Amino acid sequence: MKLKQYIVFAITGLIIISCENKLDLTDIVKNSQDKQITNISDTVYIQQSPVWTGFNKPEDIIVGREPFIYVADTQNDRIVMLDVAGKVLGSKTIKHPVALAQDYKLNLIVCAQFDTTINSNQVTFSAVYKIDLVSAQHLIGSAKVTRILPQDPKEDPFAFTRPDREYTGVCVFFDNSIYVSRKGPKNSNPIDRDNAILTLKFIPVSNSGGVIRDSLVVGKVPLLEAEGTGMMSANKISSLTSFNRKSLDVILTLIGDNSFKVQWLQFVVNPDFSGYRPKLTAFSSDMMLVNKFGKPEDTALDNAGNIFVADAQKDSIFKFNSFGDELQSFGGSDLLNEPHAVAFFDKIIYVLDTGNDRVIRFILSTDTQ
């Protein structure tokens, strides 16, 4: 867009307790230079110019630790690297990327796809890749790509028997351990259900010649219900978000049949138990109301611990504090079309407006003063 526009959304000073109270663009007052929702609150969202375009149904956006911006440009089969001003710095071809994370060694971890030939037939598998940016001096187009999952058949004899399994989300923790969400149609086998969160850890080992290499150890997060409709569910997880601190807590979004589609799992260690429990319990806050969300595809955290949720079905971005109380939420079909991801950096909210093939940035009016 060449014309500079500011879109301002009113934010209520009260806690919003239902979807009906969420701000919608039907309340917009149109002006020649901006669009504004009038409200008793002095706090409003301001859209930043320009809008970033050139994508084709992108499904994820993250702010890296450098920081650079990375976009999974899904239908263009590439990952785009930008600076925080929106200048494209490079891209990497990879088939159908859908989820991104970055570890503390600055490697990108990507959920995507690859094609292979089995019995003279081409078969497409979901995959998890590592992209080594440091060795390529952050020239992403030249960076080495290594497939992590599925593993080599020598390590996992069944790796290439399930093309119907999909990797849907990824996050990295302070110790560089990785969680990957997976979904699929077969969930009756208690040993190997498709709907799960996999844990990945690279352990350095040395061979007889003293050469050290990383050996991948794969596990699963226990106590999750593969097709659960309540808490502690892995029913079609769409994203995973870790905390940028020494914590194993994780926020997950679900698009399966579930009443609580955003869940914060807290890692608990005590003399009687070690593992995950819900941080926010059912009905304890706005975020934990039944059917609060339609199709949440991503979450992000700001520096204050506030939680942003991108809901593709409701064309909206929800914002909650760390207790799950709803704060400033905005959206509507006049502005957003199936937003699949949200990110935060330096007071800026980055919204991946998937249906409109663009990235829109917002800032609170109080942060511009």
Q: Determine the average pLDDT of the residues in 265-280.
A: 97
Q: By C-alpha distance, which of 209, 284, 292 is closest to 253?
A: 292
Domain ranges for the chain, please list them: 53-355
Share of the chain above pLDDT 70, in %: 87
Share of the chain above pLDDT 90, in %: 78
Chain position carrying tokens 């593709």: 312
**pLDDT of res. 261:** 98
Question: Band of the pLDDT at 1, cuts 50, 70, 90?
Answer: very low
Helices and strands in the chain, H and E counts = 0, 27
Chain position carrying tokens 């829109």: 360
Measured at the alpha carbon of residue 98, what is the angle toward residues 60 and 295, in degrees to the nearest 5?
70
Give the fold, CATH level 3, of 53-355. Answer: Neuraminidase (2.120.10)
Whether 15 shows a pLDDT value over 80: the answer reads: no
Question: pTM of the full predicted structure?
Answer: 0.87
Q: By C-alpha distance, which of 91, 28, 13, 59 is closest to 298?
A: 59
